[in-house]
Amino acid sequence: MITQIEETIKSIMIKNAYYVKLGKGDEWADDSIQNGLIRIGWINQNLDDINNWRESIIREKIEEARKEANLPKSKGAVSNDLSALKKIVHSTPEDVWVAFHKSYLWWCRVSYNRIEEDSISKYRRIDLWSKVDTEGTPLIINQIPGRLSKIQRFSGTICSLNKDEVTDLYRVLNNLSSNEFQHISQAKAELIKKVAEGLALLHWKDFELLVDLIFRNVGWRRMSIVGESMKYVDMELEEPITGDLYQVQVKSDASIAEFKSYAEQFTEGKFRKFYFVVHNSKEKWTDAPKYEGVELILQEQLAQMVVDLGLVNWLLKKIK
Protein backbone atom coordinates (compact mmCIF):
# COMPACT_ATOMS: atom_id res chain seq x y z
CA MET A 1 0.00 0.00 0.00
CA ILE A 2 1.39 3.39 -0.99
CA THR A 3 1.54 5.82 1.94
CA GLN A 4 0.47 9.45 1.68
CA ILE A 5 4.13 10.51 1.97
CA GLU A 6 5.12 8.23 -0.91
CA GLU A 7 2.26 9.58 -3.02
CA THR A 8 3.45 13.15 -2.34
CA ILE A 9 7.01 12.28 -3.36
CA LYS A 10 5.76 10.55 -6.47
CA SER A 11 3.50 13.40 -7.56
CA ILE A 12 4.74 15.79 -10.23
CA MET A 13 4.21 19.28 -8.81
CA ILE A 14 3.89 22.30 -11.10
CA LYS A 15 4.66 25.91 -10.19
CA ASN A 16 4.30 27.23 -13.76
CA ALA A 17 3.73 25.41 -17.01
CA TYR A 18 4.82 26.45 -20.49
CA TYR A 19 4.43 25.18 -24.03
CA VAL A 20 7.40 25.41 -26.39
CA LYS A 21 7.51 24.81 -30.12
CA LEU A 22 10.81 23.07 -30.84
CA GLY A 23 11.72 24.90 -34.03
CA LYS A 24 9.77 25.73 -37.15
CA GLY A 25 7.85 22.63 -38.17
CA ASP A 26 9.40 20.80 -35.17
CA GLU A 27 12.77 20.84 -36.94
CA TRP A 28 14.64 20.77 -33.60
CA ALA A 29 12.32 18.32 -31.82
CA ASP A 30 14.28 15.10 -32.33
CA ASP A 31 17.59 16.74 -31.45
CA SER A 32 16.11 18.46 -28.38
CA ILE A 33 14.52 15.26 -27.06
CA GLN A 34 17.56 13.06 -27.70
CA ASN A 35 20.07 15.50 -26.19
CA GLY A 36 18.07 16.93 -23.28
CA LEU A 37 17.65 20.46 -24.60
CA ILE A 38 15.02 23.10 -25.24
CA ARG A 39 16.18 24.72 -28.47
CA ILE A 40 14.95 28.24 -29.19
CA GLY A 41 15.44 30.93 -31.83
CA TRP A 42 16.34 34.61 -31.24
CA ILE A 43 19.48 34.25 -33.33
CA ASN A 44 20.06 38.01 -33.41
CA GLN A 45 20.21 38.29 -29.61
CA ASN A 46 23.52 38.41 -27.77
CA LEU A 47 23.96 35.52 -25.32
CA ASP A 48 25.41 37.76 -22.59
CA ASP A 49 22.50 40.19 -22.93
CA ILE A 50 20.03 37.34 -22.54
CA ASN A 51 21.66 35.74 -19.50
CA ASN A 52 22.05 39.08 -17.74
CA TRP A 53 18.59 40.11 -18.94
CA ARG A 54 19.34 43.52 -20.41
CA GLU A 55 15.73 44.08 -21.29
CA SER A 56 16.00 47.39 -23.14
CA ILE A 57 18.74 46.05 -25.43
CA ILE A 58 16.83 42.81 -26.02
CA ARG A 59 13.67 44.77 -26.87
CA GLU A 60 15.55 46.92 -29.40
CA LYS A 61 16.95 43.85 -31.12
CA ILE A 62 13.49 42.25 -31.25
CA GLU A 63 12.17 45.38 -32.97
CA GLU A 64 15.06 45.29 -35.46
CA ALA A 65 14.52 41.57 -36.16
CA ARG A 66 10.82 42.12 -36.81
CA LYS A 67 11.58 45.00 -39.14
CA GLU A 68 14.08 42.91 -41.13
CA ALA A 69 11.61 39.99 -41.36
CA ASN A 70 8.77 42.33 -42.38
CA LEU A 71 6.73 41.25 -39.34
CA PRO A 72 4.34 43.44 -37.30
CA LYS A 73 6.29 45.89 -35.17
CA SER A 74 3.50 46.91 -32.82
CA LYS A 75 4.22 47.35 -29.13
CA GLY A 76 2.09 44.27 -28.38
CA ALA A 77 3.91 42.02 -30.88
CA VAL A 78 7.32 43.08 -29.55
CA SER A 79 6.18 42.59 -25.94
CA ASN A 80 4.94 39.08 -26.76
CA ASP A 81 8.35 38.11 -28.16
CA LEU A 82 10.07 39.65 -25.14
CA SER A 83 7.76 37.82 -22.74
CA ALA A 84 8.32 34.48 -24.48
CA LEU A 85 12.11 34.81 -24.22
CA LYS A 86 11.86 35.91 -20.60
CA LYS A 87 9.92 32.75 -19.71
CA ILE A 88 12.67 30.38 -20.86
CA VAL A 89 15.46 32.55 -19.41
CA HIS A 90 13.93 32.85 -15.93
CA SER A 91 12.29 29.41 -15.69
CA THR A 92 13.25 27.25 -12.69
CA PRO A 93 13.20 23.46 -12.08
CA GLU A 94 9.83 23.95 -10.36
CA ASP A 95 8.27 24.66 -13.76
CA VAL A 96 7.10 22.10 -16.29
CA TRP A 97 7.66 22.54 -20.03
CA VAL A 98 5.62 20.65 -22.62
CA ALA A 99 5.96 20.03 -26.34
CA PHE A 100 4.06 17.90 -28.86
CA HIS A 101 5.93 15.61 -31.21
CA LYS A 102 5.16 12.42 -33.15
CA SER A 103 1.71 11.91 -31.57
CA TYR A 104 2.95 12.34 -27.98
CA LEU A 105 2.93 15.03 -25.32
CA TRP A 106 6.48 15.43 -24.01
CA TRP A 107 7.35 17.16 -20.73
CA CYS A 108 10.47 18.22 -18.88
CA ARG A 109 11.96 20.54 -16.29
CA VAL A 110 14.91 22.88 -16.90
CA SER A 111 18.17 22.41 -15.01
CA TYR A 112 19.88 25.10 -12.96
CA ASN A 113 21.83 26.66 -15.79
CA ARG A 114 21.84 29.54 -18.22
CA ILE A 115 21.01 29.84 -21.90
CA GLU A 116 23.74 28.38 -24.13
CA GLU A 117 24.25 28.28 -27.89
CA ASP A 118 25.90 26.21 -30.58
CA SER A 119 26.00 26.25 -34.38
CA ILE A 120 22.33 25.22 -34.51
CA SER A 121 20.58 27.54 -32.06
CA LYS A 122 20.40 28.91 -28.56
CA TYR A 123 19.15 26.39 -26.03
CA ARG A 124 18.62 25.59 -22.39
CA ARG A 125 19.54 22.23 -20.90
CA ILE A 126 16.85 20.13 -19.18
CA ASP A 127 16.90 17.03 -16.97
CA LEU A 128 15.07 14.70 -19.35
CA TRP A 129 12.23 14.78 -21.87
CA SER A 130 9.55 12.24 -21.00
CA LYS A 131 6.43 11.04 -22.85
CA VAL A 132 4.94 9.00 -19.98
CA ASP A 133 3.09 9.81 -16.75
CA THR A 134 4.02 8.77 -13.20
CA GLU A 135 2.61 5.29 -13.85
CA GLY A 136 4.60 4.86 -17.07
CA THR A 137 1.51 5.29 -19.27
CA PRO A 138 2.34 6.88 -22.67
CA LEU A 139 0.96 10.40 -23.10
CA ILE A 140 -0.66 9.93 -26.50
CA ILE A 141 -2.04 13.22 -27.82
CA ASN A 142 -5.47 11.90 -28.80
CA GLN A 143 -5.91 10.43 -25.31
CA ILE A 144 -5.37 13.60 -23.28
CA PRO A 145 -7.93 16.38 -22.60
CA GLY A 146 -8.78 18.47 -25.66
CA ARG A 147 -8.15 21.80 -23.97
CA LEU A 148 -4.61 20.60 -23.28
CA SER A 149 -3.86 19.11 -26.70
CA LYS A 150 -5.17 22.25 -28.48
CA ILE A 151 -2.18 24.21 -27.13
CA GLN A 152 -0.13 22.77 -29.99
CA ARG A 153 -2.05 25.07 -32.33
CA PHE A 154 -0.37 28.10 -30.72
CA SER A 155 1.39 29.94 -33.53
CA GLY A 156 4.23 31.40 -31.49
CA THR A 157 7.29 29.79 -29.91
CA ILE A 158 6.49 29.84 -26.17
CA CYS A 159 3.33 30.44 -24.17
CA SER A 160 2.13 29.99 -20.60
CA LEU A 161 -0.59 27.49 -19.79
CA ASN A 162 -3.64 28.99 -18.13
CA LYS A 163 -5.09 27.80 -14.82
CA ASP A 164 -7.40 25.17 -16.37
CA GLU A 165 -4.63 23.87 -18.64
CA VAL A 166 -2.23 23.57 -15.69
CA THR A 167 -4.92 21.65 -13.77
CA ASP A 168 -5.35 19.27 -16.72
CA LEU A 169 -1.59 18.85 -17.09
CA TYR A 170 -1.16 18.06 -13.38
CA ARG A 171 -3.88 15.43 -13.60
CA VAL A 172 -2.49 13.92 -16.82
CA LEU A 173 1.12 13.72 -15.57
CA ASN A 174 0.04 12.19 -12.26
CA ASN A 175 -2.39 9.74 -13.89
CA LEU A 176 -5.38 11.14 -12.02
CA SER A 177 -9.01 11.02 -13.14
CA SER A 178 -11.21 14.09 -13.54
CA ASN A 179 -14.42 14.36 -11.50
CA GLU A 180 -16.34 14.11 -14.76
CA PHE A 181 -14.55 10.87 -15.66
CA GLN A 182 -15.34 9.37 -12.27
CA HIS A 183 -19.01 10.36 -12.40
CA ILE A 184 -19.49 9.02 -15.93
CA SER A 185 -17.63 5.80 -15.12
CA GLN A 186 -19.86 5.20 -12.11
CA ALA A 187 -22.98 5.91 -14.17
CA LYS A 188 -21.75 3.55 -16.91
CA ALA A 189 -21.05 0.78 -14.39
CA GLU A 190 -24.59 1.14 -13.02
CA LEU A 191 -26.02 1.10 -16.56
CA ILE A 192 -24.12 -2.12 -17.37
CA LYS A 193 -25.49 -3.70 -14.20
CA LYS A 194 -29.07 -2.76 -15.15
CA VAL A 195 -28.58 -3.93 -18.75
CA ALA A 196 -27.36 -7.30 -17.44
CA GLU A 197 -30.61 -7.59 -15.46
CA GLY A 198 -32.62 -6.57 -18.52
CA LEU A 199 -31.04 -9.27 -20.68
CA ALA A 200 -32.77 -11.91 -18.56
CA LEU A 201 -36.14 -10.64 -19.87
CA LEU A 202 -35.33 -11.32 -23.53
CA HIS A 203 -37.12 -14.05 -25.47
CA TRP A 204 -34.59 -16.59 -26.74
CA LYS A 205 -35.23 -15.55 -30.35
CA ASP A 206 -34.50 -11.91 -29.47
CA PHE A 207 -31.39 -12.99 -27.60
CA GLU A 208 -30.06 -14.73 -30.71
CA LEU A 209 -30.79 -11.59 -32.71
CA LEU A 210 -28.98 -9.44 -30.13
CA VAL A 211 -25.85 -11.58 -30.33
CA ASP A 212 -26.01 -11.34 -34.12
CA LEU A 213 -26.28 -7.52 -33.89
CA ILE A 214 -23.30 -7.34 -31.52
CA PHE A 215 -20.99 -9.17 -33.92
CA ARG A 216 -22.28 -7.26 -36.95
CA ASN A 217 -21.81 -3.93 -35.14
CA VAL A 218 -18.07 -4.62 -34.89
CA GLY A 219 -17.96 -5.24 -38.63
CA TRP A 220 -18.11 -9.02 -38.80
CA ARG A 221 -20.17 -10.65 -41.58
CA ARG A 222 -22.59 -13.48 -40.88
CA MET A 223 -21.96 -16.47 -43.14
CA SER A 224 -24.96 -18.48 -41.92
CA ILE A 225 -28.54 -17.66 -40.96
CA VAL A 226 -29.22 -17.08 -37.26
CA GLY A 227 -30.60 -20.25 -35.75
CA GLU A 228 -29.83 -22.27 -38.90
CA SER A 229 -29.93 -25.99 -38.26
CA MET A 230 -26.25 -26.72 -37.70
CA LYS A 231 -25.25 -29.09 -34.95
CA TYR A 232 -23.40 -27.32 -32.11
CA VAL A 233 -23.37 -23.94 -33.96
CA ASP A 234 -25.95 -21.16 -34.25
CA MET A 235 -24.00 -18.86 -36.57
CA GLU A 236 -20.76 -18.61 -38.50
CA LEU A 237 -19.04 -15.25 -38.95
CA GLU A 238 -16.22 -13.76 -40.99
CA GLU A 239 -13.92 -10.91 -39.98
CA PRO A 240 -13.78 -9.04 -43.33
CA ILE A 241 -10.29 -7.53 -43.06
CA THR A 242 -8.38 -10.68 -42.08
CA GLY A 243 -10.86 -13.20 -43.47
CA ASP A 244 -10.77 -15.15 -40.19
CA LEU A 245 -13.83 -17.33 -39.51
CA TYR A 246 -15.62 -17.80 -36.19
CA GLN A 247 -18.42 -19.98 -34.84
CA VAL A 248 -20.99 -18.90 -32.23
CA GLN A 249 -23.38 -20.86 -30.04
CA VAL A 250 -26.10 -18.86 -28.26
CA LYS A 251 -27.86 -20.13 -25.12
CA SER A 252 -30.48 -18.39 -22.97
CA ASP A 253 -29.51 -20.76 -20.18
CA ALA A 254 -26.85 -23.44 -19.99
CA SER A 255 -24.89 -25.58 -17.58
CA ILE A 256 -21.17 -26.17 -17.38
CA ALA A 257 -21.80 -29.69 -18.61
CA GLU A 258 -23.48 -28.31 -21.75
CA PHE A 259 -20.65 -25.86 -22.27
CA LYS A 260 -18.11 -28.71 -22.05
CA SER A 261 -20.12 -30.73 -24.56
CA TYR A 262 -20.16 -27.90 -27.10
CA ALA A 263 -16.55 -26.83 -26.47
CA GLU A 264 -15.22 -30.33 -26.95
CA GLN A 265 -16.93 -30.55 -30.34
CA PHE A 266 -15.00 -27.52 -31.59
CA THR A 267 -11.95 -28.19 -33.69
CA GLU A 268 -10.16 -25.09 -34.96
CA GLY A 269 -9.71 -26.22 -38.55
CA LYS A 270 -10.72 -23.27 -40.70
CA PHE A 271 -12.30 -21.48 -37.71
CA ARG A 272 -10.18 -19.30 -35.47
CA LYS A 273 -12.43 -19.33 -32.40
CA PHE A 274 -15.69 -20.66 -30.97
CA TYR A 275 -17.86 -18.33 -28.85
CA PHE A 276 -20.32 -19.80 -26.33
CA VAL A 277 -22.72 -17.00 -25.30
CA VAL A 278 -25.04 -17.34 -22.28
CA HIS A 279 -27.26 -14.59 -20.84
CA ASN A 280 -29.37 -16.07 -18.04
CA SER A 281 -27.54 -18.77 -16.12
CA LYS A 282 -27.19 -19.44 -12.41
CA GLU A 283 -24.13 -21.64 -12.84
CA LYS A 284 -20.89 -20.88 -11.00
CA TRP A 285 -18.93 -20.31 -14.17
CA THR A 286 -15.68 -19.77 -12.31
CA ASP A 287 -15.54 -23.57 -12.20
CA ALA A 288 -15.83 -23.89 -15.98
CA PRO A 289 -12.83 -25.50 -17.72
CA LYS A 290 -10.72 -23.58 -20.25
CA TYR A 291 -10.39 -24.69 -23.86
CA GLU A 292 -7.97 -23.58 -26.54
CA GLY A 293 -9.81 -21.45 -29.10
CA VAL A 294 -13.05 -21.34 -27.07
CA GLU A 295 -14.36 -18.18 -25.38
CA LEU A 296 -17.20 -18.09 -22.88
CA ILE A 297 -19.26 -14.86 -22.89
CA LEU A 298 -21.54 -14.41 -19.88
CA GLN A 299 -24.17 -11.89 -18.89
CA GLU A 300 -21.94 -9.11 -17.49
CA GLN A 301 -19.56 -9.11 -20.46
CA LEU A 302 -22.52 -9.23 -22.82
CA ALA A 303 -24.12 -6.26 -21.02
CA GLN A 304 -20.92 -4.25 -21.47
CA MET A 305 -20.95 -5.06 -25.19
CA VAL A 306 -24.57 -3.86 -25.44
CA VAL A 307 -23.61 -0.54 -23.82
CA ASP A 308 -20.35 -0.04 -25.75
CA LEU A 309 -21.94 -0.87 -29.12
CA GLY A 310 -24.96 1.40 -28.69
CA LEU A 311 -27.62 -1.32 -28.41
CA VAL A 312 -29.30 -0.09 -25.21
CA ASN A 313 -32.24 1.45 -27.09
CA TRP A 314 -32.73 -1.83 -28.98
CA LEU A 315 -32.85 -3.69 -25.66
CA LEU A 316 -35.30 -1.21 -24.14
CA LYS A 317 -37.75 -1.73 -27.02
CA LYS A 318 -37.60 -5.49 -26.55
CA ILE A 319 -38.17 -5.57 -22.78
CA LYS A 320 -40.63 -2.68 -22.31
pTM value is 0.77
Looking at residue 132, what DSSP letter applies?
Answer: B
What pLDDT shows up at residue 6?
36
Q: Per-residue pLDDT tens for 212-242? A: 999 999 999 988 765 554 567 889 999 999 9
The pLDDT score that the predictor gives to residue 4 is 36
Same domain, 76 and 47: yes
Backbone φ and ψ for 310, nearest 5 degrees, come out as: 70, 35
Give yes or no: residues 237 and 253 share one domain: yes
Q: Which domain holds residue 25?
A: 12-173
Comparing CA positions, the residue from 169, 4, 182, 147 lying closest to residue 98 is 169
Mean pLDDT estimate for the chain: 90
pLDDT of residue 225: 62
- Of the pLDDT bands very low, low, confident and very high (cuts 50, 70, 90), residue 3 is very low
Residue 204's CATH number: 3.40.1350.10
Question: pLDDT at residue 268 above 80?
Answer: no
Among candidate residues 141, 173, 205, the one where a domain is terminated: 173
Question: Do 209 and 239 reside in the same domain of the chain?
Answer: yes
Who contacts 294 (Cβ-Cβ below 8 Å, separation ≥6)? 263, 266, 273, 274, 275, 276
Q: What is the pLDDT of residue 231?
A: 64
- Given a cut of 90, whether residue 310 has pLDDT beyond it is yes
30, 154: one domain: yes
Q: Name 235's bridge partners.
A: 248
Of the residues 130, 155, 173, which one is the last residue of a structural domain?
173
Confidence of residue 5 (pLDDT cuts 50, 70, 90): very low
The fraction of the chain above a pLDDT of 90, given in percent, is 76
- DSSP E strands: which ranges in the chain? 17-20, 37-40, 96-101, 104-108, 116-117, 122-125, 158-160, 221-222, 235-238, 245-251, 271-278, 294-297
Q: What average pLDDT does this structure show over 6-28?
A: 83
Count of domains observed in the chain? 2
At 252 the pLDDT is: 86
Instruction: Provide mean pLDDT across the span 280-289.
Output: 85
pLDDT in tens, 23-72: 999 999 999 999 999 999 898 999 999 999 999 999 999 999 898 888 88
Question: Residue 267's pLDDT is what?
Answer: 77
Of 2-11, 157-166, 207-216, 288-297, the poorest mean pLDDT is in 2-11
Domain boundary among 144, 173, 202: 173
Q: How far apart are CA 291 and CA 295, in angstroms?
A: 8
81-95, 222-236, 259-273, range with the lowest pLDDT: 222-236
For residues 313 and 307, give the distance between their C-alpha atoms in angstroms, rounded to a whole number: 9
On whether both 155 and 195 belong to a single domain, the answer is no
Q: Is residue 5 part of a domain?
A: no
245-251 and 271-278 as β-strands: parallel, antiparallel, unpaired?
parallel
CB proximity list for 181: less than 8 A, separation 6 or greater: none
